[in-house]
Amino acid sequence: MDIVSRLQGVMGEGGVLIGEEVRSRSASWISRRSMEAAALVRPRTTEQVSAVLRLCHDAGQAVVAHGGLTGLVDGVNTGPGEIGLSLELMNHIQDLDVDSSTMTVEAGVVLQTIQQRAEASGFIFPLDLGARGSAMIGGLISTNAGGNRVIRYGMTRNLVLGLEAVLADGTVLSSMYPIVKNNSGYDLKQLFIGSEGTLGIVTRAILRLSPQPRSQNTALLAVNEFSQLPRLLRELSAGLGGTLSAFEVMWNEFYRLMTTFPARQHAALPQSFPYYVIADALGSDQQPDQERFEAVLTRAVEQGLAADCVVAMSAAERAGIWAIRDDIDQFHRYRPWFGFDVSMPIRHMETYISEVRAQLDAAWPGNATFVFGHLGDGNLHLNIHTGAGDLETRHRVEAIVYGGLASRQGSVSAEHGIGLEKRDYLKLCRTPDEIAAMRTLKRAFDPRGILNPGKVLD
């Protein structure tokens, strides 16, 4: 009996998709090509995940965990002989503990669902990103997602108190402790956060909630020089007393793309400035917080740190400002394009972008390069269109984008992970000893190499 038949026996009707049911699904958000896999297994419980992995481990069968397919580094690619493991049916919020400020969820719960449930109970789950409507919490944990509020609340790693994961051989490893302080030995959950499904499959988590802010203030600022951006960040951070939650920067080309028809947003500020900043502050009392917010912005303009500024005066205006940053579907107007997610100290960003642009212009005159990102935490995104999408062109562009990072103490991946796309460049930001230690962990947790094979490590 082949492995698919054995899985069907374990999962029952509807638990295993094959053939056209698999091919009718998209493989990823970027490529939108049809999915390939020997089967797509859809467990409903941790016990079923355990049974599936036990069978696959005994058979030496490769397994790739699937979430909302919003990743950008080919981290969930499946080949025709591999088994996809979708957590989409494990989509229940199991508990919300008001006293402990925690939420217990299954891995298939979508981020927006978590956010809405938290808000209905007087909390927020601070993790936020453009793919909130489809990204699943298991995938966000497995990639240690960042998003828009890292400068205040940290990465996903900072928001997970407890975790349950299933190892390659079916062993269920449960560290479901809803407590902040737990120094009882190794913190095993940290091994699975950011490991991209290569060490185990995340099935449940206890999330840390924060009190729901009672005020929110948002502004869009225009800036003339890059050197003013870190000074503006410091001014806002100091002046807003720890309430600054986002500091997003958009280079001119990105802003124009997002505010020019057929884009759905309009230009709240003229399209002629080199840089644009979205500043967002979450506080406790709307009227005094807004007065302080506007006073800090006025002072920044008077000091020459910003050339122009518009403050959102309603929820609709706030959503409109954020929509400029989040409408990444506009990149599909420049297919094919290559997307990058890098990080480095802020002081190196201006020269880095200048060097990348110069090399791209020399190789592909007329290229379209869009730069934006979470500058407050050192993260930049670059989306590049050269006119060609072949593998050779991709490698040439990667050499340009990644080539200047090591000398700047940068990383080839700030928040999207390594996957398959960046695997060969891991050595640019990790030492040989670090990679050797990663291989030791992989062999210990997955000795037969069945979990997401070929991703992160070759």
* Whether residue 329 has pLDDT greater than 90: no
Give pLDDT, residue 1. Answer: 60
Q: What is the pLDDT of residues 172-223, one digit of tens each?
A: 999 999 999 999 999 999 999 999 999 999 999 999 999 999 999 999 999 9
In the predicted model, what is the mean pLDDT of the chain?
95
Give pLDDT, residue 213. Answer: 95
**Nearest to residue 85, comparing CAs of 117, 113, 43?**
43
Q: What is the pLDDT of residues 422-457, one digit of tens each?
A: 999 999 999 999 999 999 999 999 999 999 999 999
Burial per residue of 216-254, b for 16 or more beta-carbon CB atoms within 10 angstroms, e otherwise: bbbbbbbbeebebbbebbebbbebbeebbbbbbbbbbbb
Give pLDDT, residue 14. Answer: 87
Q: Measure the CA angle with vertex 25, ends 20 and 29; round to 5°.
A: 160
Rg value, the chain, Cα:
23
Tokens describing residue 353: 């972008």
Percent of the chain with pLDDT over 90: 88
pLDDT-derived band at 26, boundaries 50, 70, 90: confident
CA distance 441 to 409: 25
Name the pTM for this structure: 0.92
pLDDT-derived band at 30, boundaries 50, 70, 90: low
Give pLDDT, residue 297. Answer: 98
Q: What is the pLDDT of residues 343-370, one digit of tens each?
A: 999 999 999 999 999 999 999 999 999 9
- Give the other-Cβ count within 10 Å of 371's Cβ: 22
DSSP string, 247-267: EEEEEHHHHHHHTSTTSS---
The amino acid at 122:
G
- 185: exposed, middle or buried (C-beta count within 10 Å: 0-12, 13-18, 19+)? exposed
Largest CA distance in the chain: 75
Query: Hey, what domains does the chain have and what are their CATH numbers?
Result: 3-88 (3.30.43.10), 93-211 (3.30.465.10), 215-328 (3.30.70.2190), 335-443 (3.30.70.2740)
Inter-CA distances, 168 with 48, 183, 200, 420, 423, Å:
13, 26, 6, 20, 21
DSSP 3-state assignment of 317?
helix
Strands 63-66 and 83-86: parallel
